Amino acid sequence: MLFSSRTTSHLLPRALTVRHFPTRTMATKDWSAQQYLKFEAERTRPSRDLLSQIPLKSPKRVVDLGCGPGNSTAVLLKQYPDAHLTGMDSSPDMIRKASATLPNIEFTVEDLNTYTPQEPVDVFFSNAVFQWIPRKERLEVVKRLIRSQPSGGVFAFQVPDNLTEPSHAAMQETAANGPWAEALSTVGRDTFQSPQEIYDELKPLCSDVNVWHTHYYHSLENHEAVVEWVKGTGLRPYIDPLSATDRESFLEAYLGRLEKLYPKTIDGRVLLRYPRLFVVAVRA
């Protein structure tokens, strides 16, 4: 689905900068870069697909919002080797990994809700972050940052759009059926705005708003691999609050549901359908 109004670095060595240590909305514990990167190729592909639709060829300043372990930053660095490129994330572990991988890039630990660039930014880029910001706040953050951009600046982001997928429905069902039901009664992720809501919110600030969906079908080794995939992101709010014993029981019950929901392929693997929503907005 496509909605459109038409129907960038001097790489000096940088030290890891810590301005404050907020946590993501979804959990009280830090994220694990190691767990996230178990599926690095699959998680990085949307970054390339998003980047391919950015119209700027030689931006001066580029910021990777929610850069994670730096895999998306590396994609940006390859595309814009002459830009001043920086990355920020709320997870100290992610920033440590990113800084170790790309030591010549400046990475900072910051809260996206309060982050304000020191200079105008030509390209804001975000790979799978805004789904964790509460629904009422996320587009306000996007608009605040777009307002800080020069004319022709680009704000590009993609988010998983998979709350109705079997993998995520099974999380909610498992959470509601077990000794952990009360503790997890308020756990969940807000739905994301529809393409029209995004368009209508951003268009008054932008000359062009390009919105589309892509469905990826990731061939994973088995059902256990599906669990490993979501343990790095979507499953975190459900298992982080649990004791070690309850966590093991939860994962066992969740795996049982996945085995019923996802048939094996002819070669014994599992196809994980993964919808994602993409947006590229150009500042008016």
- The pLDDT tens digits for 10-39 are 333 333 333 332 333 333 455 454 554 556
In a domain, 98, yes or no: yes
Mean pLDDT across the chain: 87
Q: What is the pLDDT of residue 283?
A: 98
Could you give the 3-state DSSP secondary structure of residue 247? Answer: helix
Q: Confirm whether 16 is domain-assigned.
A: no
Residue 91 counted as domain residue:
yes
Identify the pLDDT of residue 29: 54
Predicted local distance difference test score (pLDDT) of residue 137: 96
Residue at 193: amino acid letter: Q
Residue 263 in domain: yes
The predicted structure's pLDDT at residue 6:
36
Give the predicted TM-score (pTM) of the model. 0.86
pLDDT above 60: residue 196: yes
- What's residue 19's pLDDT? 33
CATH code for the domain in which residue 267 is found: 3.40.50.150
* Average pLDDT, integer, range 129-157: 97
Predicted pLDDT of residue 18: 34
In this prediction, residue 41 carries a pLDDT of 78
Residue 100 structural domain:
31-283
Q: Rounded to whole angstroms, how far apart are CA atoms 7 and 216?
A: 24
Q: Is 259 domain-assigned?
A: yes
Q: What is the pLDDT of residues 29-65, one digit of tens each?
A: 554 545 545 566 787 899 999 999 999 999 999 999 9
Mean pLDDT of 155-160: 97
Q: Where are the beta strands (DSSP E) in 161-265?
A: 206-220
* Structure tokens that stand for 42 in this block: 């699959």
Does pLDDT of 242 surpass 50?
yes
Could you give the number of structural domains in the chain? 1
Least confidently predicted of 9-18, 116-125, 133-142: 9-18
What are residue 211's DSSP bridge partners? Answer: 3, 279
Please give the pLDDT value at position 14.
37
In a domain, 225, yes or no: yes
Q: Are 143 and 201 in contact (CB under 8 A)?
A: yes
The two three-digit tokens of residue 8, written as one number: 């960038």
With respect to residue 126, please indicate whether it lies within any of the assigned structural domains: yes
Q: How confident is the model at residue 239 (pLDDT cuts 50, 70, 90)?
A: very high
Residues in a beta bridge with 215: 275
* SS3 annotation, 114-171: CCCCCCCCCEEEEECCHHHCCHHHHHHHHHHHHHCCCCCCEEEEEEECCCCCHHHHHH
* pLDDT at residue 32 in the model: 52
Instruction: Find all residues with CB under 8 Å of 266, minimum gap 6, and list them.
Output: none
Q: Report which DSSP code applies to 133.
A: S
Contact 157, 125 (CB under 8 A): yes
pLDDT for position 42? 82
